[in-house]
Structure 1
Amino acid sequence: MAHSLKRFPVQTKQSLISKALESKRLIGMYTYISFSIAELFDKVWETPVLQLAQEIGVSDVALGKACRKAGIPLPGRGHWAKQANVRPQKPKLPKNNGTVEFKVLDRSAIPRPSHKPVTIEQTIQVPDQLKEPHPLVIQWLKVARSAKIIDGFLGAKGRRVLDIKISAAPIDRCARFFDTLIKAAEREGYSWKITETNTTSVIVNNEAVAVRLVERVKRLPSPPQPPQPRRPGGAWTPDFSRMVYPRYEWIPTGELTFQIDEYTDYGERKNWKDTKTGLVETKIADILVGLSRISVLLKKKREQREIQAREYAAAEAVRLERVRKAEIQHRLQLKLVNHTEKWEHAERLRSFIGAVAKRVECGQAVDPTAAKAWLEWANQQANLLDPTEGDLMTVISLEVQLENGFNTYSYRKPEKSWWSE
């Protein structure tokens, strides 16, 4: 029989929530549902608090706290157990104005598995003997049978083999389990690979899902060695070996757990382990279904990250352009101020030179030749300082070349200028 993925159950929205969702604000996987105090007052006196809380999507305790905070009286204990004609009358509406807001999980934003069914055998038997093992299993067996025990586990770190963290006892069992799992997965169209970082990945729906098999090992502190007996009359020597304690003894339990080593939200199953009802070998079909479910979630997260990356790149381009324009404007202003100051200095020089020329014309006792030479030299210096006397394009040009290493994230203190507020 074919075993297919079940779809996530979708809760039907009540008219109560449908009306409130008009004012909701989406934040991540949650929404904020708002009610006016008058509207919530009517509802708590028309529907039991427990039922109303379930319809909203919060606990009855949270609903009760919100009502008391808003000044909304609640029906007493046993109110709804009484007949309608003997129930206490509805109190008056509170005079408080405002709204009551609840943060609830937005189930519409939870990604659902693909509608494409995954056909998997009802039961997948693990053989008692390893026959024609998969190349990945053969490669792992060569490493595992020659590996040393480090802290209770086979030391296969840095070797590009299946990610299996076990003691020496269940080597054959793990080989038969992984051989059966890999072959069953390949029949379903999955593929396996060992990455450069020694991660075991299953390619499902074009998504790489990291997996591993681990054994639970107990860690017990080892008692320290007794001190060496001191020979009568012998010199005392310090025993530094006792300073490295505590040491531990590692006891394998034989309990295996198959793990999907991926971060996912929404509580999807990622662990299958030995239990009283069955060993991990009996759960291969469920593992394959779980791999397909996780691949759908990973694909959804990857698509969301790509969308966020594009949005960030677009926002970054806008920010970069804004910063570049601001820097260009700042440098043009500094250029304008610099030219203005040079022009002012040149004008001051010309005024002084003019005053000297008038004194010379008035017949002061100076050498006319020396005075003429100085006036020519002084005017040249004023012209050199005056930006309007040189290449005028350097003054009126609006082109600014920013250096290649221009840091758009500079936090320099803004300089005060004529345009500063």
Structure 2
Amino acid sequence: MRTISREELYKQVWSRPMTKVAEEYRVTSTALKKTCNRHKIPTPERGYWAKLEHHKPVRRVPLPRLTDTRLDRVHIAGATSERLPEPVSKAGTEARERLMKASGPAAARALTDSGMEEPSTLGATRRAITKARPDAQGFANAQGRGIVSLKIAPSSVDRALRLLCRLFALAETEGYRPKINETGLDLAAEDVTIAFRVDERPRKTPREPAAAELKRRDDNLRWGISKPASPKYDYSPSGRLAIVVHANSCSGLRRTYSDGKTQSIETMLPDVIAGLAEHAALLRERRRAAEECERQQWEAEARRRREEAFSVREKRRLEFVDAIHEQLLERSKLSAVLSYLKTSMAEDANCAQGMSAWIRRRIQQIDALTSPEFLDLSARSAKLDFVEPLSDHNGSDPGGYKGYLSITRLQFWSIDEEKELATSISALEWATQAGLVPESESDDASQGETSGATRPAQR
């Protein structure tokens, strides 16, 4: 909604035709005229601009002064369309200019010829509306597959079909062709389809209640019922046709074109087609915006998945590094104890030899466990990679979390060079293969551990 001063609107309507001013505010000239009347703004009489163009005398009515200050500010609804994308208004303007010129023979015939041959696509519509029975108000309804939705009086059938013939012929010059669907007959161009219908405006006249209705009203009032006993108005066909577009509701675009007091809808067909162009452009813009929104949501979800996968990888990498660090700490502790024992055993060489041998063996195990070769095999076994994976063309992360992940731990390995095969083994198996533990020691060690709890230590 736009707000201007009363004086400014007065200057605008006397500086150029009402249709041009109304187009700027995205309202009809009739609506702008009513706005001027409410605010006591005089407007040029009919023929004013034609007389002015031919240098004939004209009279400009001065703006009267008002005591009601509330009328000084004029609020004009319809500015919602100003928020529409630029391609929408551009599409309507260009289509309107092309149609007003009527350069092509098809366009000229659609604007002037009232006896056009009826296309076969309207055959189902004619059959349906001809067979339809009028309702209580006198209107016949037709709708269904391949049928233009109609609500008109039987006397308006021929005119409505001629109107559709001219509408389809003119629409074809702009690339719109009839398209049959399950609910009706629409106009389609490229990748958009626009549904519409043709209605006959009802005439509203005050209803004269019958004697029975008056008696029922009196009975209702006697019982305290205020509900009217009969309709206030009667509705009947008026002969005024209208084309209603079923698209982009609450968008600010015009959706209804109907007969006026001085202008028939047949002369408004260029405006109807230009309106279809605006609706089609807005549908494309909304589709593009929806696709862009979907793309942004997809990218945001892809980023979230990549960040989640990165966090999982970092956590598992830290767990692997922590396992290495734990082994290195243990090695440092063992080295310190071994150094202490060497110093203490300088006086008694036979003291704590078994412990020193075990510590040296344990250090060898740790050196093997943390060797680059075993670390690489352990990381590959846990499906752990310290190099960041590249995202594929869809933006997904091939290194993302997928189901179960192996435990990150350091392992001993038995490597078969001929078969190029590495097999995970236990610490005892590795120590046996390395010659640190005799093959029979596993049994002796288990027996010793079992009996050691009850047998006193030997000195």
Q: Report the structure number with the largest CA radius of gyration.
A: 2
Do both proteins adopt the same fold according to a TM-score greater than 0.5, normalized to the shorter chain?
A: no
TM range (shorter): 0.3 to 0.5
Select the structure that is richer in helix.
Answer: 2
Q: TM-score, normalised by structure 2?
A: 0.42
TM-score normalized with structure 1 length: 0.45
